[in-house]
């Protein structure tokens, strides 16, 4: 049965706001005023990707019969904001804590990979939005921002999927690679594909 505690809902909302503001600050070039105006957009292209990433961990853990609850990290929230100011977002404002008698290596791996898979689904959705609109002068004038934000949503969700699969202690990747290295490699390669597509326009500008 799906249950949310009051503290969990509070932590999710705070983390959602902080990570959305962090990316808004990054995208605004450290202009707090502009960052505030960008929050509605970053809520959509980043914030919800983060929330559903964490909820995916929770839902899968509960499916296996465990108690799972999201808790924010004060240090992680602070680091998220500080790194955003210096041009990079360390996107680890909290985590889902799982409680149970025995968590197998396979269960732990599947629970851990659920978040990145969710981000990749978001990346695919944003990519489909991006490529579904006809690219001509009229549509760029009318929906140019939608092009940009859909592209950004694809890139950032791909980045979140990749970041969480880094094989570092505390991140999902360390648990996934212990369970199934091949699955881990596939997720990392697909995630990097979206990240590379995000960098492609910049790399192209260096060539032409």
Asked if residue 149 has pLDDT above 50, the reply is yes
176 within domain boundaries: yes
173 within domain boundaries: yes
Residue 130 sits in the same domain as residue 206? yes
pLDDT score for 126: 92
Number of domains, the chain: 2
Residue 92 sits in the same domain as residue 176? no
Residue 83 sits in the same domain as residue 157? no
In the block, residue with structure tokens 């981000």? 119
- Backbone dihedral angles phi then psi of residue 71, each to the nearest 5 degrees: -135, 135
Chain segment 153-208, per-residue pLDDT in tens: 999 999 999 989 999 877 899 999 999 999 999 999 999 999 988 776 544 444 44
Q: Is 54 a catalytic residue?
A: yes
DSSP structure string for 84-128: HHTT-----SEEEEEE-S---HHHHHHHHHHHHHHHHHHHHHHHH
Q: Which of 54, 69, 101, 107 is catalytic?
A: 54
129: number of Cβ within 10 Å = 16
Q: How far apart are CA 191 and CA 57, in angstroms?
A: 18
Kindly calculate the radius of gyration of the chain based on its CA atoms and give it in whole angstroms: 18
Kindly state the DSSP code that residue 47 receives in the 8-state scheme: I
Q: How far apart are CA 20 and CA 46, in angstroms?
A: 6
pLDDT score for 203: 44
- Residue ending a domain, choose from 103, 134, 161: 103
Helix (H, G, I), strand (E, B) or coil at 71: strand
Of 35, 17, 186, nearest in space to 177 by CA: 186
Residue 194: give the domain boundaries: 120-208
- Beta-bridge partners for 67: 99
Kindly state the DSSP code that residue 67 receives in the 8-state scheme: E
Which segment of 18-27, 86-95, 99-108, 131-140 scores lowest on mean pLDDT?
A: 131-140
Q: How far apart are CA 146 and CA 143, in angstroms?
A: 5
Q: How far apart are CA 189 and CA 172, in angstroms?
A: 15
pLDDT score for 30: 85
């Amino acid at each position: 049965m799906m249950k949310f505690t009051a503290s969990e809902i509070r932590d999710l909302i705070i983390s959602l706001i902080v990570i959305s503001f962090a990316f808004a600050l990054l995208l605004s070039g450290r202009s707090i005023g502009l960052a505030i105006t960008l929050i509605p957009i970053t809520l959509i292209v980043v914030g919800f990707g983060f929330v559903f990433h964490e909820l995916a961990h929770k839902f899968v853990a509960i499916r296996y019969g465990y108690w799972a609850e999201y808790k924010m990290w004060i240090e992680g929230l602070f680091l998220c904001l500080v790194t955003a100011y210096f041009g990079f977002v360390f996107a680890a404002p909290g985590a889902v804590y799982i409680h149970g008698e025995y968590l197998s290596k396979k269960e732990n791996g599947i629970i851990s990979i659920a978040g990145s898979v969710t981000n990749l689904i978001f990346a695919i959705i944003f990519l489909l939005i991006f490529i579904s609109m006809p690219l001509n002068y009229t549509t760029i004038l009318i929906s140019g921002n939608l092009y940009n934000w859909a592209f950004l949503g694809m890139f950032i969700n791909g980045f979140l999927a990749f970041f969480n699969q880094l094989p570092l202690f505390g991140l999902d990747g360390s648990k996934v690679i212990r369970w199934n290295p091949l699955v881990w490699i596939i997720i990392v390669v697909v995630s990097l594909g979206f990240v590379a597509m995000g960098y492609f326009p910049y790399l192209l500008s260096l060539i032409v």
